[in-house]
Amino acid sequence: MKRLLLLPAFASLLLVAGCHDHAYYAPPPAYAPSNALFDLAGRNGFQMGAQDGARDSGSGYRFEPRRTRAYHETPGYDPGLGPFGPYQNAFRNSYLHGYDTGYYHR
């Protein structure tokens, strides 16, 4: 007899458990890096690239900007300005431009 009463009670619990309305919280907006981050990356990248390019050209090394330490380590990052990924991309683009300028004395 107790088993017969237990089955409907259990079934009603299952029905009621799924009725709670869950609140939806939207994800936070994407973090937008500041212009200061790109300015810093551009300045640092171009300056270091131009120095490394001029040094490599004067030493008779081949044109290989992607093999330099500065290109891989991406120095000068300030975490207070934004995420590392956009800084790294901007630094490397500016570094390649600077290296070309320094290597070919443009």
Q: pTM above 0.95?
A: no
* 40 lies in some domain: yes
* 4 lies in some domain: no
**Radius of gyration of the chain from Cα atoms?**
29
Q: What CA–CA distance (Å, rounded) separates 59 from 53?
A: 10
* 70 lies in some domain: yes
Q: Which residues contact 56 (CB under 8 A, 6 or more apart)?
A: 62, 63, 64, 99, 103
**48 is in which domain, residue-wise?**
32-106
Number of structural domains found in the chain? 1
pLDDT values of the chain reduced to their tens digit, one per residue, 106 residues: 666 666 676 666 666 665 566 677 788 777 777 799 999 999 999 999 999 999 999 999 999 999 999 999 999 999 999 999 999 999 999 999 999 999 999 8
* 73 lies in some domain: yes
- For 22, the 3-state DSSP assignment is coil
